[in-house]
């Protein structure tokens, strides 16, 4: 978990994992849209990214995925054809469990669910690094498609992360 961290960050205790939460109301109406989940400064290592459905999601919400956005370019963090979250009930969990070519994973609370790591010795979550673009606002955006007018539901997004630079932060 601490691979790639500088000795200075380790010695100052900056490698302590941090947990940031953000509740997101789904409000996109009859289109493809993006909502900022988190804003990044400096460089950070994301150890885990997951969301908990806290208000049931509307009937038509597809192609849900994450991407970085520096206001000039976007880079996918999960597969951009995404996962279908239509009518996901309260208590469902959405998580990043693989590399960028992997869609987000939905574990619906409509039935009991179990989730294991892809292989022995690995975590369920798939870590990644984000570096803020100099002079620009860099965000981690949740993007999806809907025919609902408007879509509805609330997801409490969580990110467990470690700063890689002195100014590394996620809010």
Structure-token match 């989940």, residue found = 37
Count Cα neighbours of 111 within 13 Å in the Cβ-side half-sphere. Answer: 3
Q: Higher pLDDT residue, 111 or 170?
A: 170
Q: What pLDDT band is residue 34 in, cutting at 50, 70 and 90? A: very high
Query: 10: phi > 0 → left, psi -120 to 50 → alpha, else beta; which?
Result: alpha
Q: Are 21 and 156 in contact (CB under 8 A)?
A: yes
Mean pLDDT of 111-137: 85
What span, in angstroms and rounded, lies between the C-alpha atoms of 78 and 135?
25
Q: What pLDDT band is residue 1 in, cutting at 50, 70 and 90? A: very low
So where are the chain's domains?
Answer: 7-170
Q: Is the preceding peptide bond at 150 cis, omega within 30 degrees of 0?
A: yes
> How high is the mean pLDDT of the chain?
91
Say what the pLDDT of residue 96 is. 95
Mean pLDDT of 122-134: 91
Q: What share of the chain is helix, strand, coil (3-state, %, to 5)?
A: 5, 45, 55
């Amino acid at each position: 978990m601490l691979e790639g961290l500088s000795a200075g960050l380790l010695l100052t205790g900056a490698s302590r994992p941090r947990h940031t939460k953000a509740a997101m109301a789904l409000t996109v109406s009859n289109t493809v849209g993006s909502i900022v989940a988190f804003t990044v400064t400096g460089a950070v290592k994301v150890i885990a990214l997951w969301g908990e459905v806290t208000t049931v999601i509307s009937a038509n919400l597809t192609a849900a995925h994450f991407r970085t956005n520096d206001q000039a370019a976007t880079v996918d963090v999960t597969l951009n054809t995404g996962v279908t979250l239509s009518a996901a009930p309260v208590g469902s969990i959405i998580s990043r469990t693989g590399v960028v070519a992997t869609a987000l994973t939905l574990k619906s609370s409509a039935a009991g669910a179990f989730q294991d790591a892809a292989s022995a010795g690995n975590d369920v979550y798939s870590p990644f690094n984000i570096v803020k673009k100099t002079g620009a606002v860099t965000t981690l955006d949740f993007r999806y498609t809907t025919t609902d007018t408007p879509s509805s539901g609330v997801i409490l997004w969580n990110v467990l992360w470690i700063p890689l630079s002195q100014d590394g932060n996620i809010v």
